[in-house]
Amino acid sequence: MTAPTPLLGLKIIEFTHMVMGPAVGHILAGLGAEVVRVEPVGGDQTRRLLGSGAGYYPMYNRGKRSICLDLKSEAGLAVAKDLIGQADVLVENFRPGALDRLGLGYTAMAASNPGLIYCSEKGFLPGPYEQRTALDEVAQMMGGLAYMTGPPGKPLRAGASVIDVTGGMFGVIGILSALHERGQTGRGQKIVASLFETTAYLVGQHMAQFAVTGKPAAPMPARVSAWAIYDVFETKDEPLFIGVVTDALWEKFCHLFGMDALWADKALRTNNQRVLARDHILPPIRALIAGMTRAEVVAKLDGTGMPFAPIGKPEELFDDPHLNQGGLEPVTLDDGRKTMLPTIPLEMAGGRPGAPQHLPKPGEHSRDVLTALGYGAERIAALLASGAVEEPR
């Protein structure tokens, strides 16, 4: 079955860097849109990040086309305006006002392209903080996520760029909503998604807990769980997580592991009773699990409906048998090496997004993009010779 491409024919122009903005374009490209990434001459600096940033570019820029423009030159700026003039959607995530100062803000661009949907991915929505510079980690710290993730007194950022990516997803939701509305009105609009407000939405469950109970939520490592068994358990070799979240699962768990004495105790038959008796319940369960290998525990739990999870590592996902049934797509890196990376996590009409992708070299599609704009060979040659547009050498 061919991969679903519901956004085929949609033209996206992208002025982005790092993760949040590129994630928007990656999702749209993964669903079939044509995404042209505008990079500075020499290519986006994100390509050259080291350490934990080394994966940003390959993860969020597959399937895009690249043109390198000098936006400080009149000729390069003119090309950008032509690209925007033919686009359905613009995506940007630079500092507030950066594109406005170039004459590429929403008001200016909508005057010539009233159907344009202009998605700005920012640190903050309008308010006292909107001119501040934000990063994923800044938002996690400000918005309470780091506080909830680490042990008490030791705030800890989540182990992935969850705010960047989720903020990008909210941008996509806004874009798709605006496309639907444009189908009715013929007009586009500006959309702003943000890091800080995204963080607040994610920790909203803890805000609601305080509103309901009057007590602040404890950081997750110190929380009082809603369930008696909802923990990581050590085995003879590797740990795993087990959750017993209903009374029926409690019965099943006791029978699977021969915990007859615990099942016989009728004072433990309801979840809230078990939560109050955690100190009594957990020691014998931990001792039992510690006497088995992880494979033995998994063999007992698999197929029973019990929630469980081996503690995985990102590098192990390349060989995950489930992900290798459509959750990963082949990607050619910019140095020619081949790998597999996660595709858009959806199924649509029985099909999964995902197709062989490659990372564009800086300016790899510059000439093709200019030709598609209707530029003639002489004009293209002049732009390349002037340095306003760059292509690979």
Structure tokens at 264: 């016989």
Across the chain, mean pLDDT equals 96
* Residue-by-residue DSSP string for 251-311: HHHHHHTT-HHHHH-GGGSSHHHHHHTHHHHHHHHHHHHHTS-HHHHHHHHTTTT--EEE-
pLDDT of residue 1 exceeding 70, the answer is: no
What confidence tens digit (pLDDT) does each residue in 141-194 have? 999 999 999 999 999 999 999 999 999 999 999 999 999 999 999 999 999 999
What is the length of the chain?
Answer: 393
**Measured between alpha carbons, how far is 274 from 277 in angstroms, rounded to an integer?**
5
Tell me the pLDDT tens digit for each residue of 34-69: 999 999 999 999 999 999 999 999 999 999 999 999
Residue 381 DSSP one-character state: H
CB-based burial of residue 305 (10 Å sphere; 0-12 exposed, 13-18 middle, 19+ buried)? Answer: exposed
SS3 153: coil
**pLDDT of 334 higher than 90:** no
**Type and span of the H or E element at 79:** helix 74-85
State the Cα–Cα distance between residues 372 and 380, nearest whole angstrom.
Answer: 11
CA distance 327 to 353: 9
Bridge partners, 242 (sequence order): 231, 308
Does the pTM exceed 0.75? yes
Residue 89: the pLDDT is 98
